Amino acid sequence: MTHGAIRGSTTIVEILRRYPGGEAARLMSRLAWPCAHCGGAFHEPLTLAAKRHRNDPRAVLEAFRALERADGPSEEQLRLAAEKHR
């Protein structure tokens, strides 16, 4: 099964299913998101989830896209994605 690039409109559950080994769930955990267990995951696009959790949507998108790489997102990408904006 092939997937295109993760987009802002990709839902949380679609992202979780791309990574059955739990990589996406662990990234959500690093962002302090309980999405992996949430009923909203089935409808929530990544951009909206980022806004709801007050993270920068662009930084979050880049962190999730970096899951495609063997070494995953860098510490700097994780820091930027996890930063909360008031």
Site residues, another protein (CB under 8 A) = 13, 16-17, 19-20, 22, 25, 29, 32, 34, 36-44, 53-54, 84, 86
Q: How far apart are CA 67 and CA 50, in angstroms?
A: 17
Minimum CB separation from another protein for residue 54, in Å? 6
**CA-based torsion, 35, 32, 69, 4: positive or negative:** positive
Rounded-to-10 torsion of CA 20, 71, 34, 8: -90
Minimum CB separation from another protein for residue 70, in Å? 20
Nearer of residues 40 and 72 to another protein, judged by Cβ: 40
